[in-house]
């Protein structure tokens, strides 16, 4: 017995209808793949999606400060609101797949957002065809700027969650990843990490390179701080609530024979919980100035919080697994645990902070791709099987139906 609120016959109908849509979804995905755009201003991508949604009974609102699309489908029966999301932007990479529909410019859909968009269009078509029996409303969130972790927050600020007149009771998102095509992976709790920026600056006293004893050289002091910060993360933080501190840029001086007065390191800080972030912030705020003071210098550390961790709702994720298992078979659905969280970031987290959410993976490596040719997301060589688009659309539509019907 599963926890689904919709009949097996409806699940089967959605699957069959999604396969009928598949050729159109593949065509849309490949058109999007050939012409990717990056960031929050995606006019060509937005227009392609508007053309694909044309004729559906949707209330459409376009973003003011970004090329987003918010489309609301109002069901024929009263009920709550659910949200389905697909991200739109590509990456500044030159594609090297050699596919006949590959991008020829300086950008690439190397993270599968072209599939996310096409799959969400498919879900909109499936649900629009069943508008009269839909017990509530669905918000379709087409979001730019995920790769720069800006778009979701901007859409929230522009009123995304109020688009249907009341806030959603649930939100869903699917992300394609390498792996056996057509398999789903779901986990409750933290799914992706928060992303924050770190800046450490040491203030010393400049001088001539031949007379370091007359100066306070900030460079070795900064080097000592960097090493101590790495030890702090590995020795003072709970390995089961991980923190990753990665300092990626160093700046100091402009001449070989001049000791600079200042040195700076910058990077990122990733976290899966607010508690871990607060703990490392507190420890770094003591460590950095203390090391500098021991050398007669001063130093400061600035941590700017960015995207929060994406946390899946336990109940909603269990419900999602039940629906997907009944729809596609339990052998295609893997229920994961919290240890499977990835330390990359995903700005759907801004939605999950506001609405109970279920964000999960759909594996999509082409079956004919040799194992040694499989690349991961963000690689210029990565390939995805657009044969999953029908199942992606059906899954989103079924989850929306199930949550609306189970609300009562």
Q: Is 378 assigned to a binding site?
A: yes
Alpha-carbon span 28 to 136, nearest angstrom: 28
Q: Please give the torsion angle defined by the CA atoms of residues 372, 376, 381 and 386, in that order, rounded to the nearest 10 degrees.
A: 100
Per-residue model confidence as pLDDT tens digits over 257-274: 999 999 999 999 999 999
Residues 313-333, mean pLDDT to the nearest whole number: 96
- Structural domain boundaries in the chain: 8-192+309-406, 194-307
- Residue 111 assigned to a binding site: yes
Tell the burial category of 199 from Cβ atoms under 10 Å away from its Cβ (0-12, 13-18, 19+): middle
Structure tokens belonging to residue 138: 């669905």
**pLDDT given for residue 147 in this prediction:** 97
Q: What pLDDT score does 341 carry?
A: 83
For the chain, the average pLDDT equals 96
307 is in an annotated binding site: no
Fold of 8-192+309-406: Aminopeptidase (3.40.630)
194-307 maps to CATH 3.30.70.360: yes
Query: pLDDT confidence of 339, banded at 50, 70, 90?
Result: low
Q: Say what the pLDDT of residue 7 is.
A: 87
According to the annotation, is 109 in a ligand binding site? no
**Is 113 part of any known ligand binding site?**
yes
Least confident of 17-21, 313-317, 371-375: 371-375
Q: What does the pLDDT look like over 172-183, one tens digit per residue?
A: 999 999 999 999
pLDDT for the residue 4 = 79
pLDDT at 1: 36
Confidence grade of residue 407 (pLDDT, cut at 50, 70, 90): confident
Query: Residue 100: its pLDDT value, please?
Result: 96
pLDDT band at 408 (very low <50, low <70, confident <90, very high): low
């Amino acid at each position: 017995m599963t926890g689904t609120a919709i009949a097996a016959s409806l699940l089967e109908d959605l699957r069959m209808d999604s396969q009928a849509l598949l050729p159109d979804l593949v065509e849309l995905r490949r058109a999007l793949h050939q012409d990717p755009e990056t960031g929050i201003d995606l006019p060509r991508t937005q227009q392609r999606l508007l053309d694909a949604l044309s004729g559906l009974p949707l209330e459409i609102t376009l973003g003011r400060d970004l090329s987003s699309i918010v489309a609301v489908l109002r069901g024929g029966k009263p009920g709550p609101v659910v949200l389905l999301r697909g991200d739109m932007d590509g990456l500044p990479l030159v594609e090297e797949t050699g596919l006949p529909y590959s991008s020829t410019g300086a950008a690439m859909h190397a993270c599968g957002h072209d599939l996310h968009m096409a799959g969400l269009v498919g879900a909109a078509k499936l649900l629009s065809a069943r508008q009269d029996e839909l017990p509530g409303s669905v918000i379709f969130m087409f979001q730019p700027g995920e790769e720069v972790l800006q778009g979701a927050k901007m859409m929230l600020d522009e009123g995304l969650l109020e688009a249907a007149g009341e806030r959603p009771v649930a939100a869903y998102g699917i992300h394609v990843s390498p792996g056996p095509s057509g398999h789903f992976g779901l986990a409750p709790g933290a799914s992706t990490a928060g992303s924050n920026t770190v800046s450490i600056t040491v203030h010393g006293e400049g001088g001539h390179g031949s007379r370091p004893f007359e100066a306070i050289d900030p460079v070795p002091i900064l080097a000592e701080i960097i090493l101590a910060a790495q030890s702090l993360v590995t020795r003072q933080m709970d390995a089961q609530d991980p923190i990753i501190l990665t300092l990626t840029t160093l700046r100091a001086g402009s001449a070989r024979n001049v000791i600079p007065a200042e040195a700076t390191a910058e990077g990122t800080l990733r976290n899966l919980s607010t508690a871990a972030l607060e703990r490392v912030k507190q420890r770094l705020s003591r460590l950095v100035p203390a090391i500098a003071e021991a050398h007669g210098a001063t130093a400061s550390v600035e941590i700017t919080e960015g995207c929060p961790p994406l946390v899946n709702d336990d109940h909603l994720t269990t419900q999602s697994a039940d629906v997907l298992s009944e729809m596609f078979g339990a052998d295609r659905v893997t229920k994961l645990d919290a240890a499977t969280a990835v330390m990359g970031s995903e700005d759907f987290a801004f939605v999950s902070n506001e609405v109970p959410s279920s964000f999960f993976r759909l594996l999509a490596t082409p079956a004919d791709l040799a194992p040694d040719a499989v690349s991961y997301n963000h690689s210029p060589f990565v390939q995805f099987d657009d044969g999953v688009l029908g199942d992606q659309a059906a899954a989103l539509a079924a989850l929306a139906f199930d949550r609306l019907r189970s609300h009562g």
